[in-house]
Structure 1
Amino acid sequence: MEEQESPFQASVKPGLTIGLVTLVLTYIAYFIDSSLLASAWFGLVALVVFFVLIIFFGKQYRSDLGGFMSFGTAFNFSFITMIISGLVTLVGQILLYHVIDPSLPQVLGELSFEAGLNMMESFGQNPDDLAPEMLDEMKANAESNYTLTGQLKNFGFGLIAYAIIALILAAILKKRDKSLEF
């Protein structure tokens, strides 16, 4: 009898693949126009690609298991795949932000700050009504997301998001063998 891969073993290759695809998208966006990296549209496209690839690889793994997968197995596969993908992306972004273009974090921080102000205006809040100290704090927070510490902190918070997303993906990917029910 052929031994099946554990969710951890099965998630390594998809995790690396998704991480590399995400990095390729990031670097393409950077070379086209670095301001794309701070746009909501780029984030949305990356998120859709991320979900589609995890579901694709999850269905492949489920078929490798004989067409059925428990919720727990689907959760483990999805979560581990996202962690591996996140680590690959993190390393690639650290290289981009701190080795290839060290001025990029400040540029992206400023763009994020401006996007936040524009969002406030679209909700009817006038940024001029805010205290200068509050605006300075908002700008510093926006810029800190692109520092090495900010990236590591965001990855840590991302683990919580990965767990929630993995729960959703597990519900999509699970499939019970109804012939085994009595």
Structure 2
Amino acid sequence: MEQQSTSPAMAALKSGVTIGLVMLVISFLIYFIDYSLLVAAWYGFAVFVLFFGLVIYFGIQYRKEIGGFMPYGPAFQFAFVTLIVSGLISTLGNIVLYQLIDPGLSELLVKVQLENMLAMLDNFGAGDNISSDQINEMRTEMEDAFTFAGQIKGFGVSLIIYAIFSLILGAIIKKRDKSTDF
């Protein structure tokens, strides 16, 4: 029974819930402060760094709890389950925000996101090369990403990304017991 309570998946479940709730609180705080920050590039980067930093932190804490050493397989499993659980909580929170709390928010975010993208393209000198049809296509794709189906689809794509990042995070979290080398 003791072994199961400290398995990588069980530890990751607890860590994933914690990280997911932290990310959810941050998203709602940013929404209440200034909704346009939700699509700001610096905010996305900061959340990315915090998200993966917390996975590494909790992974190292778990490794210490189990004796200071963890092979790559359990480290990968820990990272992957943590990312899935926290991503699921964040996705459900975003669905609640965009569909129930403020259904008009997605329209405002698409407008801000499109303005940011066009400004960036103008800075690179490519803004004049974008046709109105291309702008409308970008707007439609952005709007679709905020729908319920778009959020679920986004989480599905995230699973693939989580698997790739878990390979990297597992390598960071693992620690081999060199005293067993002959």
What is the DSSP-based 3-state SS (H/G/I as helix, E as strand, rest coil) of the residue aligned with 1:175? coil
Matches within 5 A, 1:1-182: 3=3, 5-126=6-127, 128-182=128-182
Q: Work out the CA distance in 2 between the residues paired with 1:131 and 1:26.
A: 33
TM-score by length of 2: 0.95
| Range with greater deviation from structure 2 (109-118 or 14-23) | 109-118
Letter in 1 for 2:161: A
| Range with greater deviation from structure 2 (53-62 or 3-12) | 3-12
Deviation per CA, 1:33-69: give whole Å up to 9, x if none: 1101111111111112112211111011111121101
- Would you say the 8 A contact 1:68–1:176 is kept in 2? yes
- Would you say the 8 A contact 1:108–1:146 is kept in 2? no
- Would you say the 8 A contact 1:110–1:143 is kept in 2? no
Deviation per CA, 1:81-139: give whole Å up to 9, x if none: 0000001111111111110000001111111111111221122202x432221111011
| Range with greater deviation from structure 2 (109-118 or 92-101) | 109-118
Superposed CA RMSD = 1.4
Q: Work out the CA distance in 2 between the residues paired with 1:38 and 1:143.
A: 13
Q: Structure 2, unaligned stretches of length 5 or more?
A: none
How many residues in Structure 1 have an aligned counterpart in Structure 2? 181
| Range with greater deviation from structure 2 (133-142 or 98-107) | 133-142
Letter in 1 for 2:162: Y
Letter in 1 for 2:21: L
Q: Structure 1, unaligned stretches of length 5 or more?
A: none
TM-aligned CA distance change 1:102 to 1:161, over 3 Å: same
Q: Work out the CA distance in 2 between the residues paired with 1:45 and 1:151.
A: 21
TM-score by length of 1: 0.95
Letter in 2 for 1:158: S
Letter in 2 for 1:140: T
- Would you say the 8 A contact 1:19–1:85 is kept in 2? yes
Q: Work out the CA distance in 1 between the residues paired with 2:154 and 2:27.
A: 17
Q: Work out the CA distance in 2 between the residues paired with 1:107 and 1:163.
A: 32
Q: Work out the CA distance in 1 between the residues paired with 2:130 and 2:125.
A: 13
Q: Work out the CA distance in 2 between the residues paired with 1:72 and 1:118.
A: 44
